[in-house]
Amino acid sequence: MNLLSSLVLIIVLCKTVSIDVLVPLSTNVPDSTLYPHVIHPRQPKRLNLSIHAPLHTNKFYSNAILGDYGNNPLLTHPYVISMSKDSPYGVSISLTEEWSYGPQIDSTRVKYFINRIVKNIQMSALEFLSQQFEVNNVDEPGFACTIKMFQSNSSATITLPLVRGMAYVTFEFVFATPRISTIHSILSVNGRTSGNITGKRFEIVLNNNQAWLLYALDGEITLEFSGNQLIGTNPVTNVLRLAKKQAEPSANAVLDAQVGVYPIACQLEARVIGFQGSYMFKWQRKGNLSKTLLHFTFPHHRSIISLVDGQFTNVEAMSASKGRMIGYLGNIWTLTENALSTMQFLAPHSPAIQYRNLIVTQLKKDLAVGANLTVSDYYFTGKEFHKYALLCLLADYYREIAEFNRCIKTLKDGFEVLITRKNANALRYDTTWSGLVSSAGLGQNQELNDFGNSYYNDHHYHWGYFIQAGAIIAHLDPNYVSKIRDWVEGLIRDASNPSSLDTSFPQFRYFDWFSGHSWSQGLFESADGKDQESTSEEINFHYGIALWGLATKSSTIEGLGRLMLGTAKRAIQTYFLMNNDNTVMPQQFIANKVTGIFFENKADYTTWFGTNPEFIHGIQMIPCTPITEEIRLVKFVEEEWVTILSKIVHNAVPEWKSLLYMNYAIINRHEAFIQLTNVSLDNGVSRTWALYWAATRPSTNDSNGTVSTRKPDLSTVSTTNTASSYTSTMVASALIQLLLTIIASKTPAMLI
Ligand SMILES: *[C@@H]1O[C@H](CO)[C@@H](O)[C@H](O)[C@H]1NC(C)=O
Ligand SMILES: *[C@@H]1O[C@H](CO)[C@@H](O)[C@H](O)[C@H]1NC(C)=O
Ligand SMILES: *[C@@H]1O[C@H](CO)[C@@H](O)[C@H](O)[C@H]1NC(C)=O
Ligand SMILES: *[C@@H]1O[C@H](CO)[C@@H](O)[C@H](O)[C@H]1NC(C)=O
Ligand SMILES: *[C@@H]1O[C@H](CO)[C@@H](O)[C@H](O)[C@H]1NC(C)=O
Ligand SMILES: *[C@@H]1O[C@H](CO)[C@@H](O)[C@H](O)[C@H]1NC(C)=O
Ligand SMILES: *[C@@H]1O[C@H](CO)[C@@H](O)[C@H](O)[C@H]1NC(C)=O
Ligand SMILES: CC(=O)N[C@H]1CO[C@H](CO)[C@@H](O)[C@@H]1O
């Protein structure tokens, strides 16, 4: 074998080694001299875990452990579960498959859609005379929690394993007398309208065109008609399961056949081989384990789920907000992304040569101004670090040695303050919820400081900027890695700890592997479930992890970042960035192009900080980096520009124009470049980076009719980001006001 072929073989081998990416970054408890340990001001309620495990803050079950009653909805999809605070004490289940639509914005689109939550069917026990329940089990990746309802002075309990995608709602009864009710009228049960009915399968027909199937797995039970309720004739110890009846008879036969086994939790596995990544859901089951689990898939699962390990059925239901779900038979799901991103630090295309001098001139101007890396908050300072790190990257790229040296020194000085925790609001390790939080929001009435960072809102957004800035230094000066590794990897562990072996943090606090994307809302009750608005800042986080792994030569961290990127990209392009031919989201809503705030139970074309269209679209663009081209594809950008952005860009808040024009460069490089030479800048973007980014776009439309013939001219360009602090303050105060209103009213319902 000659040298060349040996090299090729080595490369091939490296690429085909399967890497487990769910390995801990560390298992050390955060050092209390570096991260003072604190008890969180918001304590979980109704929690009694049988096995101590880090508790999730941003998963679907938070509502159960927050607030006085824990009665805000728990969205499992398709079923919506609510713990009843009034009689009959127990749970109510909603599956309406109906939405309300908000006001018409124009003839093509409505502002919001919201899934209707109705108490279609309620399950309780005769023994329950008040609301009493506790969460007594949670799984590691946040797919499941177990709720136990009980009553003091009674041995009756009902345990409810809630699992994302469950095809039936399961109730483990112990010495409890079933009490089934509804806000509708019960028309018949197994064709009967009165008396006692004994059996293992009940078909409960309601007057709202729904029927529900009730199964008893462990022997017959007897239910008696009592007014509009069905009451057990005896306390039972049995597993009962409810499912909404399907329209298609053969689908009900599938429900009948598969009912014997039920899910209680999930375990995650994830591996990367070269450019392919797979993640696996290993469902933990109870009941008749010789049966195969029937469980619902979301649309984004179906294009990548293995048909070797399982098969689809014709059992269907509409999810609350992510389109049609289809039942899949399989105890293990394997989902494979075949083309993981290979994006590195710089754009994969060189900047067009004609722009070079303008960019280099601008680079010198921007670096002469210096940086403001004084940390007190994390969101805006994170953006400053990232903005400045990108300048260092370009100083290196353009071989401006003196500028580069100055830049990297300034950046290191900035990090030095963080590493030595000399910044205001330095991070604390919260032992209640197992996480790193800003100390800015731990006092009374401070919960919304820094966008709620101390209450676990938005860490993936905030940390994403710092992680990427850290990755850039690591790339530019590998000797610096040992200095910042613990700090940067602490952020990764907090927001995206990949392994349950690292018991100092929950596994994947933000990323919801079932939904394929993250949720940004932390420890706040919500009538519509968790939400996320900035998918671009989510992507920035995953990209940051991939780059950190790349720069520090950790193939597991890099692989993890790239797998999350691929997964999030699919979900975002299925649900959040809607092409005109999107078939998943409601037709009335698609022409908005972007979802605005996407909750579990609704999407609202708005933002937390204002309703300007440039905010709604711009928050799905920031920050524009090399990865943006893989998420915002030309077809989407073209549709969004033609139907919405071209009409609003001229009247947009000035510094938001910088984002709109960077995005526009994807389809019209030259015109966008000219605009970017003189537009006010968002506080997270330097003019140098904006110009570089535009210049690295393909030459689409450079010479087509719509293109301006103007020549770019930098002689009048300003070097300061004049209006930027205005946006920051405005956005922050609007957000805080909005959240305060919501909290004051205690009805964090619709934002309209
Ligand atoms: C917590 O759970 C344990 C074990 O199931 C049980 O014995 C105990 O009574 C529970 N505590 C409370 C306060 O409910
Ligand atoms: C439950 O039992 C305790 C003592 O065993 C008693 O003090 C209490 O009043 C009882 N509560 C109810 C609701 O019966
Ligand atoms: C139903 O069964 C219960 C318990 O066996 C009995 O007390 C009741 O009379 C029965 N009701 C009817 C209508 O037969
Ligand atoms: C469990 O499921 C298998 C496969 O469907 C079936 O053959 C068996 O009878 C079931 N066992 C029980 C106890 O229901
Ligand atoms: C840097 O930013 C902080 C916080 O935004 C501000 O208080 C400070 O005055 C700024 N410093 C400079 C030199 O601009
Ligand atoms: C740049 O923008 C300012 C106002 O924002 C304007 O007065 C000036 O004419 C613009 N310069 C160019 C070259 O377009
Ligand atoms: C790009 O050019 C094509 C063909 O001239 C035109 O249809 C399209 O609208 C242009 N796109 C933009 C964003 O200007
Ligand atoms: C979309 C479009 O029509 N693009 C054209 C712009 O001009 C270049 C160069 O003339 C053509 O190659 C593109 O097809």
How many distinct structural domains can be found in the chain? Answer: 1
In a domain, 502, yes or no: no
CB atoms within 10 A of CB 393: 22
Residue with the smallest CA separation from ligand 5 atom 11 is: 372
Compute the distance from residue 196 Cα to the ligand 3 centre, in Å.
Answer: 6
pLDDT of residue 15: 56
pLDDT of residue 460: 98
pLDDT of residue 718: 41
pLDDT of residue 493: 98
In a domain, 2, yes or no: no
In a domain, 286, yes or no: no
- Angstrom distances, CA of residue 729 to CA of 5, 136, 450, 533, 686: 59, 42, 11, 19, 19
In a domain, 629, yes or no: no
Of 127, 525, 537, 604, the active-site residue reads 537
Residue with the smallest CA separation from ligand 1 atom 1 is: 48
Of 403, 533, 600, 682, the active-site residue reads 533
Compute the distance from residue 220 Cα to the ligand 3 centre, in Å.
Answer: 15
- Residues with Cβ < 8 Å from 597, sequence gap 6 or more? 531, 532, 533, 603, 604, 606, 607, 608, 751
Residue with the smallest CA separation from ligand 5 atom 13 is: 372
Tell me the sheet residues that pair with 179: 124, 231
Residues 723 and 52: their CA atoms lie apart, in Å, by 49
pLDDT of residue 518: 98
Instruction: Name the closest ligand to CA 132.
Output: 1
Compute the distance from residue 657 Cα to the ligand 6 centre, in Å.
Answer: 14
Whether 458 is catalytic: yes
Q: What is the pLDDT of residues 294-324, one digit of tens each?
A: 999 999 999 999 999 899 999 999 999 999 9
pLDDT of residue 300: 98
Q: What is the pLDDT of residues 484-518, one digit of tens each?
A: 999 999 999 999 999 999 999 999 999 999 999 99
Give pLDDT < 70 ranges for the chain: 1-15, 700-752
Residue 130 Cβ inside 6 Å of ligand 2? The answer reads no
Residue 134 Cβ inside 6 Å of ligand 1? The answer reads yes
Instruction: Name the closest ligand to CA 655.
Output: 6
Residue 196 Cβ inside 6 Å of ligand 4? The answer reads no
Q: What is the pLDDT of residues 117-176, one digit of tens each?
A: 999 999 999 999 999 999 999 999 999 999 999 999 999 999 999 999 999 999 999 999
Whether 533 is catalytic: yes
CB atoms within 10 A of CB 343: 20
In a domain, 156, yes or no: yes
Compute the distance from residue 67 Cα to the ligand 3 centre, in Å.
Answer: 41
**Phi-psi group of 583: left, alpha or beta (phi > 0 → left; psi -120 to 50 → alpha; rest → beta):** alpha
In a domain, 204, yes or no: yes
- Can you give the CATH number for the domain in which 91 is found? 2.70.98.30
Residues 295 and 281: their CA atoms lie apart, in Å, by 11
Closest residue by Cα to residue 613 from 599, 631, 593 = 593
Range of the domain at 64: 48-265
In a domain, 582, yes or no: no
DSSP 678-691: TS---TT--HHHHH
Reduce the secondary structure of 469-522 to three states and give it as a string: HHHHHHHHCHHHHHHHHHHHHHHHHHHHCCCCCCCCCCCCCCEECCCCEECCCC
In a domain, 253, yes or no: yes
What is the pTM assigned to this prediction? 0.91
Whether 538 is catalytic: no
Instruction: Name the closest ligand to CA 680.
Output: 6
Closest residue by Cα to residue 89 from 13, 156, 30, 5 = 156
